[in-house]
Amino acid sequence: MILMNFIEELNQIETIIKVKESKRKSIVEERYESSAEHTFGCILLAQYFLKKIPDKLDELKILKLLSYHDIQNIYFEDINITDENWKNKKNLEKIAHEKTIKTIPKEISEEYKTHYIEFEELKTKESKFAKAIDVLEPVIHASNHKEHWIRGNWKESDLRKHKEKYLTEFPILMEFFNEFVNYAKENNYFIKE
């Protein structure tokens, strides 16, 4: 009986770790980035930008929001804003989220659920900051990869449409984003409007 409990627990823990295997559309070297790599990047950026903003936010809560925000990607391949299925993304993520709650260890499933919902609802200052970091991280990640922007047929208006709304509440993040957009325009990252 003890061995059976161990095997069940091991399987549930392995489920969480599978976030390292879930692929995103961003490229790292010559392969797709994992959700775990994106999450790690978000955690580091959050700690950096938290030191630059005047707001006093709950850092631990932000780090937990970011740690849990993409775990459902173990059951859902991330969809980029340039993909055809973009409009169905929220529904697919919700289905994956429900499956995730049932398959990860019960010791963290409620915490995952709570943080996932808070992240998605964007009602708290911490969730808004975490979301801002989430949308800014891929921009920073791809900043030295002009070829990815060109290959993806990015327009400045598309980038602004999908990112700005999450950044405006944090002027330092918005300023950083605008500086990148100016840099990208000057260096021909975008296709013509």
User: Domain boundaries in the chain?
Assistant: 33-186
Instruction: Give the distance, in angstroms, between the CA of residue 129 and the centroid of all CA atoms in the same chain.
Output: 12
The residue with greater pLDDT, 178 or 18, is 178
Confidence of residue 81 (pLDDT cuts 50, 70, 90): low
Domain range 33-186, its CATH number among 3.40.50.11740, 1.10.3210.10, 3.30.1330.40, 2.30.29.30: 1.10.3210.10
Q: For residues 72 and 186, give the distance between their C-alpha atoms in angstroms, rounded to a whole number.
A: 37
% the chain with pLDDT above 90? 57
The torsion defined by the Cα of 141, 142, 144 and 145, in degrees rounded to 10, comes to 140
Q: What is the pLDDT of residue 128?
A: 98
- Number of other CB atoms surrounding residue 134 within 10 Å: 21
The pLDDT mean for the chain works out to 90
Q: What is the pLDDT of residue 87?
A: 75
Q: What is the pLDDT of residue 137?
A: 96
Find the mean pLDDT for residues 56-83: 88
Q: What is the pLDDT of residue 4?
A: 63
